[in-house]
Amino acid sequence: MEQIYKNRELSWLQFNERVLEEADNPQVPLCERLTFVSIFQSNLDEFFMVRVGSLQDQMLLKEKITDNKTGMSPAQQIAAIVEEVQRLIAKRDEIYERLMRQIEEQGIRIVDFHKIGKEEESLLELYFDQEIAPLISPTVVGRRQPFPFLRNREIYAAAALETKNKKERIGIIPCTNNVFERLIPVPGMSGCYILSEELILHFISKIFKGYTIKTKSLLRVTRNADIDSDALYDEDLDYREFMSELMKERKKLAPVRMELSRNMDEAIVHTIRRYLDLDRTRLFYGKSPLDLSFLSRIHDLLRKNPELFYEKRTPQKSPLFRDGESMIAQIEEGDKLLSYPFESIRPFLKLLSEAAEDEDVVSIKMSLYRVARQSKVVETLIEAAENGKEVVVLVELRARFDEENNIAWSRRLENAGCQVIYGLDGYKVHSKLCLITRKSQGQIQYITQIGTGNYNENTARLYTDLSLMTASEEIGREAARVFQALSKGETVEKSDLLLVAPHCLQNRILEFLDEEIAYAKRGEEAYVGLKLNSLTDKTIMDKLVEASCAGVKIEMIIRGICCLIPGVPGKTEHIRVISIVGRFLEHSRIYMFGAGERKKYYISSADFMTRNTIRRVEVAAPVKAPALRERLQEIFDIMLADNQKSRELKANGLYERMAAEGEPVNAQERLYDLAYERK
């Protein structure tokens, strides 16, 4: 029997390989290709911190846990991950080397000591002695000096040292420092740079005088970041302060990976691994620099060459809004939909600002998951509170890697007089929901905004997302019930128009799929269209398989993880899956059920992952206005037609680039072109 399900971790690695392939795509401008290889590496870091960290934790549990789609144990998954990552690292190194050769043609070279002369080496030694050596803090591991704590994702120079009486020691120097530059110009060689960690490693003998350097390498450790705040929380503690302390603890979690830049003596590597309590299989050698964040500096150096970058694109003014008129009044005229980054987020920001000043507005309620470091959204909420509005903000402190930013904003909101809620026990609040309540002439009026992405002005220029604004009284009342439940630490048990996880989303999706199955079995046209970041929910996937077997046509645009393999005869032959990896991060979620006049459209913050459908608070909103439904269909159709950035998932579980037949269609560029035409 052919396999119809794929392991989620291996599917994610396939997604990251698609990112890496964009770094090797000659149609992508050179500096943007550098960005893709850097994204690949930062993605992989987070994957080890979160997913491999979680699997490592599962291996320590007494109960046996297996993947419900493939039956793989945590140990089997990690073994498969390690094998695949070794392959991807080799591929990354080849691509990085090709890219840097092309960068050299632009007059920028990253060199090592094999590529410079004695005179340049002497000048760099002088620079090292004067500018770097006084700032570093070496450690010699011995009886009186324990092995130092290696910070997550920071670079260290490590050396096997030998004393005069032939005793072995380990020398370690931190190379990550905010004081000196990472890219150091090579004196007398215009456009040539050396990485600061390579400089430290080269002159490491000057730091460890009196020792013989037997072998040396740069190393980098990735630590587990998977920490269960709900399991550790004590109700007697202040939740925000508890989360602050938890963030400190996360930095100390166990290593899950060690990377080396050079081959070292196996005995010394074994000793370092023993100190870190790290298995041999978690050791990775790479030819590329251990941290590629310096590539953004190369961008800066080459910014004068516009052909090396994407054509500048600016989010456009939405034709649905008129300048100089009340945003609330315009939304009351009819529902509005914004599509980022093709259209500007400004209309929503103006709506918030207007609500903060409007005398008839009595409250603004909002859920915040990830916001900008300098957030206009939060500043406006603070202004509204200072103007006497009731402002209720749910700040999800468990938004991974944004916890500290959210903690800081929550304090500011609270100090301004906002009522701040910190999420629910056992459920992250991931919904993108804003409710403005007005009282005019004795009547309660609602303006509700439901989005697919965060209230973040920065990512609104980089991620594709949708934002629906409506004056619908029914939707407003249901949004009010969501916030009322959140304020009481509860979840919504029943909803009509909105699909609200954890209790009213997965079951409704299954009902919609059952409807299409019934139509197909009667010989009528039946259809499902889904645009998601990830598909892992086994319950929904089982139903999609059932729908395919009944003859329902299913088209899915899934950027990242897809655990369902399409095109398998007798099982998923009516399912098609494509993935688009392009200039912007595909982030919007669209659900479509039905054919012809009975077709239903939703936008949502929720992927079809179990964590979203039954373990989080998520909201999906129906899109009723005919013009907006046409807009969603247009977006979906353009993405299905993409033959430049899309890859199709085949029945063998592998992705293949779409054949570029006929007119070239780059969906993201096409949608930007339309935004320019319609402004």
State the amino acid at position 112 in one-letter form.
D
8 Å CB contact between 573 and 545? no
**Closest CA relative to residue 335, chosen from 468, 477, 499:** 468
- According to DSSP, the residues that pair with 647 across neighbouring strands are 579, 657
Count of other CB atoms within 10 angstroms of residue 215: 16
d(CA 196, CA 73): 42
Is 587 catalytic? The answer is: no
Q: What is the total residue count of the chain?
A: 679
Q: At what angle do helices 30-47 and 8-23 cross, to 10 degrees?
A: 160
**Closest CA relative to residue 405, chosen from 370, 457, 455:** 370
Looking at 114, 202, 299, 430, which residue is catalytic?
Answer: 430
Q: What is the 3-state secondary structure (H, E, C) of 254-322?
A: CEEEEEECCCCCHHHHHHHHHHHCCCHHHEEECCCCCCCCCHHHHHHHCCCCHHHCCCCCCCECCCCCC
DSSP string, 362-411: EEEEEEESS--TT-HHHHHHHHHHHTT-EEEEEE-TTSTT-HHHHHHHHH
Q: What angle do CA 513, 515, 520 make, to 5 degrees?
A: 95
On the 0-12 / 13-18 / 19+ scale of CB atoms within 10 A, 63 is exposed
**Closest CA relative to residue 257, chosen from 540, 51, 533:** 51
Separation in Å, CA 500 to CA 312, 605, 606 = 38, 10, 10
Q: Which residues make Cβ contacts (< 8 Å) with residue 655, sequence separation at least 6?
A: 14, 18, 579, 647, 648, 649
Q: What is the 3-state secondary structure (H, E, C) of 95-123?
A: HHHHHHHHHHCCCCEECCCCCCCHHHHHH
Encoded tokens for 486: 């959140």
Residue corresponding to tokens 């603004």: 364
Handedness of CA 340, 346, 347, 350 (dihedral sign): positive
| 302 phi/psi in degrees, rounded to 5 | -110, 10
H/E stretch holding 647 reads strand 646-649
Q: How many helices (H) and strands (E) does the chain have?
A: 21, 27
**Closest CA relative to residue 635, chosen from 499, 509, 528, 529:** 529
Q: Which residues are catalytic?
A: 430
